[in-house]
Amino acid sequence: MALDKPYLDVPGTTIFDTEQSRKGYHLNQFCMSLMQAANRERFKADERAYLDEWPMTEDQKLGVLSRDLNRCIALGGNIYFLAKIGATDGKSFQQMAGSMTGMTEDEYRAMMVSGGRSVEGNRFIGEDGDAQAHRQPQGAARTPGH
Amino acid sequence: MARITASVFTSHVPAIGAALDLGKTAEPYWQPVFQGYEFSKQWMKDKQPDVIILVFNDHATAFSLDMIPTFAIGTAAQYQPADEGWGPRPVPVVQGHPALAAHIAQSVIQQDFDLTIVNKMDVDHGLTVPLSLMCGQPPADHFAWPCPVVPFAVNVVQYPVPSGQRCFNLGQAIRRAVESFDEDLNVHIWGTGGMSHQLQGPRAGLINREFDNAFLDKLIADPAAAAAIPHIDYVREAGSEGIELVMWLIARGAMKDVAENPSPVRLKHRFYHVPASNTAVGHLILENT
C-alpha cells in the first residue's frame, strides 16, 4: 500500500524521506567524511579517485564533481550533508542555497534582503510562482528564449 | 524540588554564529538581528537559571546517517563545540548536568517516550548559537557559559520527523520529570530552530512572515492549536526547513499553563526579523506566573 506523502506536490522542493535517505546513504556518508581535514585534502587532490572509494552511483559522483546540488538532492543527497562539500570549497550556506535557484550570488542575496521568496504561487505544483519548473532557471540566467 | 520557570524560543542560524565570531555584529546587515537580543541578554543575567534544557537539532554533525535518533538526551558531563567544516566555533565547552539529565531520561522513558541516551556528542551551531545570542560573548577571564546545559536533540533532518503534537506532549512529560527531581533548581527550557526557511531546490529562500507571526501568536496564546499544525503546513507555508519549528512545541509544552489552565504565561519579549542569511529570525521569552 502506498505511504502518505502529501509533500510531493510542493514545487522546487525534495523532502528527505526514508526513500531518499536509502538512495543517498553512501553519497551523504561521503559528504560526512569531509568533516575531517585529512579527507578534505585527499578529496581536493584527486576528487574522482576519492569518490571512487565510495559505493556511490556514477550519477551521484558526476553530481558531486559538477557541484550540481539539485542533481545531488534528486539522487538522495540532503542539504545538511551536501553542505560539507560547500565547506570544503569555502562556500557559505547562502552561496550553496542560491546555487540551486540559478540566480547569481548577488541576486539571491538581494532577494533575501528584500524579504525572501514569496510563498504566493509556490505552494502547489502547477501555480505560477518563481519556484515552478517552467520558470527555471531564475534571475539573469533566464534570458528570453532560454 | 526543581521547577521550570521560563521558556525561550529562538532561531539558530549558523551565519549568526559566524557574524558573532568574526566581530560583524555592528554591521548594518546584522545590527537589527542582535538588537533583538539586547533585552534577552539582560533578562538572562537577571533570571540566572541553574540549568537550561536546550532543545535543538543536529545538522549532520554528531549524527550521520549511520544512526538517526528521533529524540536524544545528553547525559554527559561536557560537550565540545563541533567542527562543522569551517572549524569549531571559538566558544566555551558546554558543561552538562548528568544528574538531572539521567533523571529526566528515566522519568520520560517511563512516560512512554523512547529517548536515546547520549554520553558522547559534539554540539553544533544548533546548540551554541542560541547560547551566544542569549548569553553574549563570555569574557576572556571567565570563559564559560553561565550555567550547565542538558542538550536535547530532535531529528528534524530525515522525514518523518516527530509531529508537533508529539513534541508538545513530550514537553509536558519533561515538565513532570523536572518537578520530580529533588534538588532545588531553577530550570529554563529552550526551543530552537526556524522560523520560515528553505535551503534547497529552486524554492530556496522562501520566507513567510504571515505564517511565522501567526505561529508566534498561537504559540503564546493557544499552544494546543500550534501543536495541531500538520507537517505539510510547515513544508508548504514555511519552507522545507521551517519544520524545525516543531522543536519549539517541546519547550512550550513544558510550561505550567498547559497543565494548569488558570496560570497564564507572561510574555516577556517578542522579536521577529528577516533575514539572517536564508532564514527568518523569531524569538520569544515566556515566564510562568
CA distance to partner chain A, nearest, from residue B103 (Å): 32
Per DSSP, B62 falls in state S
pLDDT of residue B86: 75
pLDDT of residue A3: 86
CA distance to partner chain B, nearest, from residue A137 (Å): 8
Question: pLDDT for B116-128, tens place per residue?
Answer: 999 999 999 999 9
Per DSSP, B90 falls in state S
Per DSSP, B115 falls in state P
What is the 3-state secondary structure of B146-208?
Answer: CCCEEEEEECCCCCCCCCHHHHHHHHHHHHHHHHCCCCCCEEEEEEECCCCCCCCCCCCCECC
Q: Which of A50, A43, A98, A30 is nearest to B60 (CA)?
A: A30
Q: Inter-chain contact A15–B235, Cβ cutoff 8 Å?
A: yes
pLDDT of residue A142: 80
Quickly state the pLDDT bin for A111 (edges 50, 70, 90): very high
**Mean pLDDT confidence for A30-51:** 96
Residues A81 and A23 in one domain: yes
B3-287 maps to CATH 2.120.10.90: no
A85 contacts chain B (CB < 8 A): no
Q: Which residue of A has its CA nearest to B200?
A: A97
Residue A146 resides in a domain: no
Active-site entry in B125, B142, B269, B283: B125
Q: Which of residues 7-26 of B touch A (CB under 8 A)?
A: 14-15
What gap in Å lies between CA B203 and CA B222, rounded to an integer? 30
A116 contacts chain B (CB < 8 A): yes
Residues A123 and A83 in one domain: no
Using the predicted structure, report yes or no on whether residue A146 has a pLDDT greater than 60. no
Q: Inter-chain contact A73–B201, Cβ cutoff 8 Å?
A: yes
Using the predicted structure, report yes or no on whether residue A145 has a pLDDT greater than 60. no
Q: Inter-chain contact A13–B157, Cβ cutoff 8 Å?
A: no
Residues A20 and A74 in one domain: yes
A63 contacts chain B (CB < 8 A): no
Task: Judge contact between B96 and B149, C-beta under 8 A.
Answer: yes
Quickly state the pLDDT bin for A28 (edges 50, 70, 90): very high
A91 φψ region: left (φ > 0), alpha (ψ -120 to 50), beta (else): beta
A75 contacts chain B (CB < 8 A): no
Q: Which of A83, A123, A138 is opposite residue B202, by nearest beta carbon? A: A138
Pairing of strands B186-192, B3-10: parallel
Q: Inter-chain contact A7–B64, Cβ cutoff 8 Å?
A: no
pLDDT of residue A144: 58
**Which of A7, A13, A95, A106 should one mutate to test binding to chain B, selecting the residue with the greatest count of B CBs within 10 A?**
A13
Using a CB-CB cut-off of 8 Å, the residues of chain A touching B199 are 79, 93, 96-97
Annotated catalytic, B197?
yes
Quickly state the pLDDT bin for A93 (edges 50, 70, 90): confident
What gap in Å lies between CA B260 and CA B176, rounded to an integer? 12
Q: Inter-chain contact A16–B83, Cβ cutoff 8 Å?
A: no
pLDDT of residue B134: 98
Q: Which of A31, A73, A94 is opposite residue B278, by nearest beta carbon? A: A94
Which ipTM did the prediction report?
A: 0.95
Q: Residue B289, SS3?
A: coil
Residue ranges of domains in chain B: 3-287
Final residue before a domain boundary, out of A49, A68, A89:
A89
Q: Which of B204, B237, B274 is opposite residue A101, by nearest beta carbon? A: B204
What gap in Å lies between CA B10 and CA B194, rounded to an integer? 8
Residue A3 resides in a domain: no
Residues A27 and A84 in one domain: yes
**Mean pLDDT confidence for A37-42:** 94
Q: Inter-chain contact A28–B60, Cβ cutoff 8 Å?
A: yes
Quickly state the pLDDT bin for A115 (edges 50, 70, 90): very high
Using a CB-CB cut-off of 8 Å, the residues of chain B touching A23 are none
**B3-10: strand order across its sheet:** B116-118, B71-74, B149-154, B51-56, B186-192, B3-10, B279-287, B266-276
Owner of C-alpha cell 518537578: B179
Residue A77 resides in a domain: yes
* φ and ψ at residue B24, rounded to 5 degrees: -100, 15
| Omega before A137 within 30 of 0, i.e. cis | yes
Residue A133 resides in a domain: yes
**pLDDT tens over chain B, length 289 residues:** 999 999 999 999 999 999 999 999 999 999 999 999 999 999 999 999 999 999 999 999 999 999 999 999 999 999 999 988 778 999 999 999 999 999 999 999 999 999 999 999 999 999 999 999 999 999 999 999 999 999 999 999 999 999 999 999 999 999 999 999 999 999 999 999 999 999 999 999 999 999 999 999 999 999 999 999 999 999 999 999 999 999 999 999 999 999 987 788 999 999 999 999 999 999 999 999 9
Task: Judge contact between B174 and B53, C-beta under 8 A.
Answer: yes
B237 contacts chain A (CB < 8 A): yes
pLDDT of residue B31: 97
Residues A137 and A116 in one domain: yes
pLDDT of residue B261: 75
Q: Which domain holds residue A77?
A: 15-89
pTM of the model: 0.97
Residues A19 and A85 in one domain: yes
Residue A106 resides in a domain: yes
Q: Which of B86, B208, B231 is opposite residue A87, by nearest beta carbon? A: B86
At A79, list the grid cell: 542539504
Residue A55 resides in a domain: yes
Annotated catalytic, B231?
no
Q: Which of B71, B61, B64 is nearest to B129 (CA)?
A: B61
Residue A1 resides in a domain: no
Residue A83 resides in a domain: yes
pLDDT of residue B198: 97
Question: Could you give the number of structural domains in chain A?
Answer: 2
Residues A111 and A73 in one domain: no
CATH code of residue A19: 1.10.700.10
Residues A113 and A71 in one domain: no
Using a CB-CB cut-off of 8 Å, the residues of chain A touching B160 are 17-18
Q: Which of A22, A137, A128 is nearest to B65 (CA)?
A: A22
Residues A34 and A64 in one domain: yes
Residues A113 and A62 in one domain: no
Active-site entry in B197, B231, B273, B283: B197
